[in-house]
Structure 1
Amino acid sequence: MSSTEAGSLAAVRYLDVTAGADGQRLDNYLITQLKGAPRTLVYRIIRKGEVRINKKRAKADTRLQTGDQVRVPPIRLTEKASQTPVGDSLRDLLQGDALIYENDAVLVLNKPAGLAVHGGSGVRVGLIEALRQVRPELDFLELVHRLDKDTSGCILLAKSRKALNILQDQLRAKQMGKFYQAWVLGNWPVELREVDAPIDRASSPSGERRMRIAEPGAGKASLTRFKILKRLGSLTLIEAEPVTGRTHQIRVHARFAGFPLLGDPKYGDEAINERFRRAGIGRMFLHARRLVFSDPLTGQRLTIEAPLDKSWKQVEQDKVKNHE
């Protein structure tokens, strides 16, 4: 093996499809099973006919059934693509305080700010990759929705293909409630209860993902409902409910209304963010506080809350200390 070849699956493998993967596309199944394998490699071995289902060639979008046998050819993984081990602190967090709810169908975690949900683009290991290492006994584990890297709070994962489909149907039908808390700059007016403004991608020379309020007739319809929870000097603590699910929706709508989020590195006030960073308060203050959905197993309506971390109290202490 050369110095760049860090991992190897050098023999033909035969994978038996379990109930958790029933109905899953072949390409997604292989990406999950061949941890560390680049997507380009997965699609190449399918296209060349080296992957077989029940001894027959198959396409990437073939839906698997319980009991199918999938033949996987020998493959080699480069160092870059090999699995990045989960650090002890993240492992302890995912096995301990971060887990706020679990049953046979779902997991709900309190994601810390600063942890990406997926690896890639300079992130060696994200939440989903780390959790699959920490919980290897789970045959299936997929994100139902996403959170920005800098956002903390409730994130929902499905433990079977059936559960994932049911929960994503709830999302599409707007039957899942997602409620966030945020510190914003300024005195949010009582009468401002929603922002209904389409959102579009903004051009960025650096390639950084940024969004903006769209020009008339462009963008995707976007609606966020807001409620005041507390005022503290020049800050307001708000609850935000994104009725639609656009990228950076709460952050863009709050900025458009004239009240950017405290600590927001893309749409916030850098001078104020820097003052709080000097006081040891460096995160973006957006937290997925509450998640409401129907249990895929029983249909029971569940309400799950994610505790706030100590930085939220630090904001109040800093404001009191500085008499603002």
Structure 2
Amino acid sequence: MNNFNKVQLVTVEDDMAGQRIDNFLMARLKGVPRSLVYRIIRKGEVRVNKKRIKPEYKLQAQDAVRIPPVKVPEKDEVTISSAGLNKIQQLEKHIIFENDRVMVINKPSGMAVHGGSGLSFGVIEAMRQLRPQSKFMELVHRLDKDTSGCLLIAKKRSALRFLHEQLRNKKLYKEYVALVDGRWPKRTRVVDAPLDKNHLRSGERIVRVSEAGKPSQTEFSIEQNFARATLVKAMPITGRTHQIRVHAQFAGCPLAGDPKYGNEEFDQFLKATYGFKRLFLHARQLSFKDAPDGKKITVKAEYDDALANLLSALD
């Protein structure tokens, strides 16, 4: 584990402009727990142009950043088990598109996109370990831990900025597929319901439809009807936490295998009948440009065996 025991003074280069200070620090302080990074920002130990800043502050070219000495306690030392290392190596097989600017991974269900909350590593830490020669590697967006499918990673800061611009302007096309309980109502093509994040005492994050929430929209269309379930295509217009899952529940057709927003009786039926025991939500397709003058890139992620086998059995 590195101990950053000296004050660092960094001048922000043009290529780093627009990056949030928290993400900037986590890239500079490799191995330092996320909680500690936020603590030094909150206490005012990190200064930009000699002033205190908030974690969401976006760096400007030529900003002068003061990073305080950071000593990481031994108890925060992260060791990756041999099973973990094997999991990291297996992730190489899940890369479905790559060029010098971006990478798309067919993320396995059950793997978090980043470490934290008791996890020693997630997809992004694993990819940095697999590609130690890469100077830059950042998530463009996120997927829930139990969601599988297309996950986009930027390999250049300029690509990250341009992809985030497409996200803001709704030019980055994301298509999901989900299995839901019951018959999806044909007239429900768009769920337009504001979402509000709540935190339970256990620390578990729950999202609910609420007038006090943020505007949220998801387009749905029916792909296939089964005896007691429907395969739907979901296209989030906005990008809220758990959006597809909560909007499907709100429409009266919760997702299969969803422990937070699902129908326990339906999930038990799938488990007992077909041995299915995971969330059925898959990011099937991404369409984007990796540069302003580039051609549109479309990437599709195949179903894993659990999803493919269940659909085959239901059919």
TM-score by length of 2: 0.84
Q: Does 1:94 align with 2:88?
A: no
Query: Which one of 138, 141, 162 corresponds to residue 145 of structure 1?
Result: 141
**2:190 and 2:220 in contact (8 A); partners too:** yes
After superposition, give the CA deviation of every residue in 1:4-59 in whole Å (9 maximum; x if it has no partner).
xx65456788989888646545553331132221346546499558x9x9xx9686
Distance in 1 between residues matched to 2:126 and 2:14, nearest whole Å: 23
Distance in 2 between residues matched to 1:238 and 1:313, nearest whole Å: 15
- Corresponding residue for 1:179? 175
1:16-95 residue pairs with structure 2 within 5 A? Answer: 21=16, 24=19, 27-39=22-34, 41-42=36-37, 44=40, 47-48=44-45, 63=59, 75-85=70-80, 87-95=84-92
Q: Does 1:226 align with 2:227?
A: no
- Corresponding residue for 1:308? 303
Q: Tell me which structure has the larger Cα radius of gyration.
A: 1
The 1:255/1:47 distance shift into structure 2, 3 A limit, reads: closer
- Corresponding residue for 2:118? 122
Out of 123-132 and 151-160, give the one that drifted further: 123-132
**2:207 and 2:246 in contact (8 A); partners too:** yes
Measure how far apart 1:107 and its partner are. 1.1
**1:26 and 1:64 in contact (8 A); partners too:** no
After superposition, give the CA deviation of every residue in 1:180-239 in whole Å (9 maximum; x if it has no partner).
000111111322211111112246343311111114xx2111111111111121111110
The 1:26/1:150 distance shift into structure 2, 3 A limit, reads: closer
- Corresponding residue for 2:257? 263
**Ranges in structure 2 where 5+ consecutive residues have no aligned partner:** none
**2:12 and 2:59 in contact (8 A); partners too:** no
**1:21 and 1:160 in contact (8 A); partners too:** no
Aligned length: 307
After superposition, give the CA deviation of every residue in 1:265-301 in whole Å (9 maximum; x if it has no partner).
1111112212323443111000000111122263311
1:185-204 residue pairs with structure 2 within 5 A? Answer: 185-202=181-198, 204=200
Q: Does 1:276 align with 2:273?
A: no
The 1:173/1:84 distance shift into structure 2, 3 A limit, reads: farther
**1:36 and 1:81 in contact (8 A); partners too:** no
The 1:175/1:239 distance shift into structure 2, 3 A limit, reads: same
Distance in 1 between residues matched to 2:75 and 2:271, nearest whole Å: 33
Distance in 2 between residues matched to 1:200 and 1:72, nearest whole Å: 34
Q: Does 1:241 align with 2:238?
A: no
Q: Which amino acid letter does the alignment assign opposite residue 127 of structure 1?
A: V
The 1:160/1:83 distance shift into structure 2, 3 A limit, reads: farther
The 1:76/1:205 distance shift into structure 2, 3 A limit, reads: closer
Q: Does 1:294 align with 2:289?
A: yes
TM-score by length of 1: 0.82
The 1:294/1:38 distance shift into structure 2, 3 A limit, reads: same
- Corresponding residue for 2:206? 210
**2:181 and 2:255 in contact (8 A); partners too:** yes
Percent identity between matched residues is: 47
Measure how far apart 1:95 and its partner are. 1.6
Measure how far apart 1:243 and its partner are. 0.5
Q: Secondary structure at the match of 1:76?
A: coil
Q: Does 1:132 align with 2:128?
A: yes
Q: Which amino acid letter does the alignment assign opposite residue 280 of structure 2?
A: F
Distance in 2 between residues matched to 1:314 and 1:164, nearest whole Å: 36
After superposition, give the CA deviation of every residue in 1:105-137 in whole Å (9 maximum; x if it has no partner).
111111111111121222221111222111111
Query: Which one of 142, 153, 156 corresponds to residue 157 of structure 1?
Result: 153
**Ranges in structure 1 where 5+ consecutive residues have no aligned partner:** 1-5
**1:20 and 1:139 in contact (8 A); partners too:** no
